[in-house]
Amino acid sequence: MAWYGALIGLGTLLLRLPVSHATDPVDVADAFFTATSAVTVTGLVVNDTAAAWSDFGQLVILVLIQVGGIGIMTIAAFFGVALNRRLGLRSSLLAGQEIGLSDLGALRHLVRKLIAFAVISEIAVTLLLTVRFSAEDGRGLPGGFRLGVFHAVSAFNNAGFSTFAEGLQPYVGDWYVSLVIAGAFILGGLGFPVVFDIVANWRTPHIWSLHTKLTLAMTATLLAVGTVLVGMIEWSNGPTLGTLAADKKILAAFFQSATARTAGFNTVDISELRPTTLLVLSTLMVIGASSVSTGGGIKTSTFAVVVQATLAEFRTDPTTTIFHRRVSLAVQRQALALVVAALATVGVGTILIGLFEPSRSLIDVLFESASAFATTGLSTGITPDLDSGSRLVLVALMFIGRIGPITFGTAVLLRPERRRFQYPEEPIIVG
């Protein structure tokens, strides 16, 4: 937590420099909010990114996104490896925890692969977007390249920052831009272990790990269900999908379903979505991306474990199984704790913002809280108009969402020593 806090502080200082501002000075509160949003790869903004920040300011935001997305300790481990320095045990444990690694002996090799994967992915997306953006409005190669780099890094890291004033709304029916950016944040949201497993065993998918199979199955399911629900609800809504051709309606519905799982880009005006759609997207945001990825939320595997455990209880099955593999009680307990902590965090955030902003609709406040906690960055447009108290709540939600509610709760509530005794057991009536 301290490392993320330090990076946010450094980002705030850099964004407060006059060289970071495009025209009018940006106050410390806005700089602090923007730095937090960038480090936590959320994408909520209180200033127009292109209008408020100079080239240097946008570069600072981009670096904060990159470091926050891949993970501070991972990057620190990478530089240690690059300089052939021996990592200490504490640094190794932190870096391993950051990227989901249990075999610390393989840390050096995996960190190199992780950094290479991120860089190669971002370069590929940059080139694809540069080709498209360079051909528009006489921007030329330099302008197209700048837009390509910014959106590639933002998309792969699931940050959702955009230098377009209206986000990606001008590209609502553009298959090329929509699919390239969606592909980038879906790839970044799959998680490094899944990508590495697929690459290493692409010819033999039957030996993929349970985590890989579960992640792919849940990702496909959530994308499909989200697309269908958003499409059905918004199909005749004029300000969003209503005026589009049928194929572009499907594209826009798919993009909003995909982006809700922590990416934060939008090709339609979020403020014009129907309340039911906002509730669907809020649910997708809380579920989020996959474990050990650049995305947030409780993670797809967590959601799957809780659902399967619930079904097992309804069926009176003795164990919880997924793809013919038993899920341990420890994993089920951790998944349940994460879900409860996430719902409690979003609920408390919603209540607090509701107290600060009594005139706001409940669905807008809930959507904003879910977006901040899940580090998604989607908004109905109320973020710039929130008062300082509400913004501090969002900052706290973004921070907790990035480090994880269990990590935050453990840091606050962890006993100095593990309890070495047990109390007598007594039955409780539930349900």
What whole-number distance in Å separates Cα of residue 174 and Cα of residue 322? 38
Q: What is the DSSP string of 328-354?
A: PHHHHHHHHHHHHHHHHHHHHHHHHHH
What whole-number distance in Å separates Cα of residue 178 and Cα of residue 156? 13
Decide: 13 and 40 in contact? Cβ < 8 Å: no
What whole-number distance in Å separates Cα of residue 135 and Cα of residue 152? 17
Q: What's the confidence (pLDDT) of residue 315? A: 92
The terminus-to-terminus CA distance of the chain in angstroms comes to: 38
Q: Choose among 326, 263, 332: nearest CA to 303.
A: 332
What whole-number distance in Å separates Cα of residue 121 and Cα of residue 16? 31
- Backbone φ and ψ of 249, nearest 5°: -65, -45
- Helix (H) / strand (E) element for 276: namely helix 275-287
What whole-number distance in Å separates Cα of residue 69 and Cα of residue 122? 12
Q: What's the confidence (pLDDT) of residue 86? A: 52
What whole-number distance in Å separates Cα of residue 117 and Cα of residue 368? 32
What whole-number distance in Å separates Cα of residue 51 and Cα of residue 420? 58
Q: Choose among 188, 168, 187: nearest CA to 178.
A: 168
Q: What is the pLDDT along the chain (431 residues), one digit of tens a residue?
A: 677 888 999 999 999 999 999 988 899 999 999 999 999 999 999 999 988 999 999 999 999 999 888 876 566 555 555 555 555 545 555 555 555 555 555 666 777 788 888 999 999 999 999 999 998 877 888 899 999 999 999 999 999 899 998 889 999 999 999 999 999 999 998 888 888 889 989 899 989 999 999 999 999 999 999 999 999 999 999 999 999 999 999 999 999 999 998 888 999 999 999 999 999 999 999 999 888 788 888 999 999 999 999 999 999 999 999 999 999 998 899 889 889 999 999 999 999 999 999 999 999 999 999 999 999 999 999 999 999 999 999 999 999 888 776 555 555 545 556 667 788 888 888 77
Residue pointed to by tokens 């669907």: 280
Write out pLDDT tens, residues 18-60: 999 998 889 999 999 999 999 999 999 999 998 899 999 999 9
What whole-number distance in Å separates Cα of residue 206 and Cα of residue 199? 13
- Helix (H) / strand (E) element for 412: namely helix 405-413
Write out pLDDT tens, residues 144-162: 999 999 999 999 999 989 9
Q: What's the confidence (pLDDT) of residue 252? A: 96
